[in-house]
Amino acid sequence: MIEMATRAQKLKMESLDRYLPLLRETDLRLMSAAGGGPTATPGRLRADPEALEAILRSDRLFEVLFRNPERDPLLSASPFLVFWVLVHRVARDLETSPFVEERIGPRRSVPVFDVASLQDFLAQGWRRAFRAEPLASYTRVTSGSVRERNARGWHRRRFSDLDPLRLAQLVEAVPDHQRPPALRRLGDLALFLSGVFPEHVAAHPLEPRHVERLRRLLNASGPEEVVRAASPEKGLWLLEWLGRAAYRLAGYEEVIAVGEGFGRGRRVLNLLTGRYLYPSRQRWFPGTSG
């Protein structure tokens, strides 16, 4: 029992070391003020995972960020803290939810009663941070166009951080040591699009020629039966295939764990989006199509 407790504490510290640098000093001061008491000083929060988690789960911090619907939380805190708090709020919501709604298309959703698996998915603190990090990153995306020359002359090609095919081409082009983070980014993109914009994904599934190109770029077996399907879930299934393949190839231990639970991760983001993001979704994620 002592050994298990020590290992659990080590994992918490590793998670803290990895994600604490993403918080701004103003975030820590905001959390300290919301927590109150001698255990909630910025210095203590940097060194105490338990105190940090308690404040992230607290009603007080949630109210500070979201009590005024006319004030954008992103004006008060960093995107990472805002989404970290929301993921913790979803984890709390799941403790009392008999089922969750899974969106499978425009104005289409189905109830999912396997809430226990979602609770288990978010039970570990690093997974809550792991889901907040890419959400924060997509509040700013890079897009535009470049001029390229081929056998037919010059042409203009558009690029975007939100284009799975272009990102997969980047994975192929980067040196070997840069492939794991690029692959993780591709997995994150598949999860972000299917979790936060499921209706758009369902209405605009990957085209068969793009699936074939992605399959070659990733050297992954492809979902032939899904490509042929006419189900409204087709777009979500294709991105799930892409996300699983990218996470698996990334080689990170924690990413593989998330890849195996891709569907659970998507449902968590569906819940977070449905309850907390819809009023601000387009404003918080510029460059996306909902």
One domain for residues 124 and 167 = no
The position carrying tokens 């979790």 is 195
Instruction: Report the chain's mean pLDDT, rounded to a whole number.
Output: 84
One domain for residues 17 and 117 = yes
Whole-structure pTM value: 0.84
d(CA 40, CA 53): 11
Q: Which domain holds residue 94?
A: 2-137
**Type and span of the H or E element at 159:** strand 153-160
One domain for residues 210 and 133 = no
Question: How do residues 148-175 score in pLDDT, each as one tens digit?
Answer: 566 676 666 566 788 999 899 888 888 9
User: DSSP strand E in the chain: where?
Assistant: 100-105, 108-112, 143-150, 153-160
d(CA 139, CA 264): 23
One domain for residues 128 and 215 = no
Q: How many domains does the chain have?
A: 2
Residue 163 structure tokens: 């284009």
One domain for residues 132 and 177 = no
Residues constituting the chain: 290
Is residue 290 included in any domain, yes or no? no
Question: How do residues 185-236 score in pLDDT, each as one tens digit?
Answer: 999 999 999 999 999 998 899 999 999 999 998 888 878 878 877 787 899 9
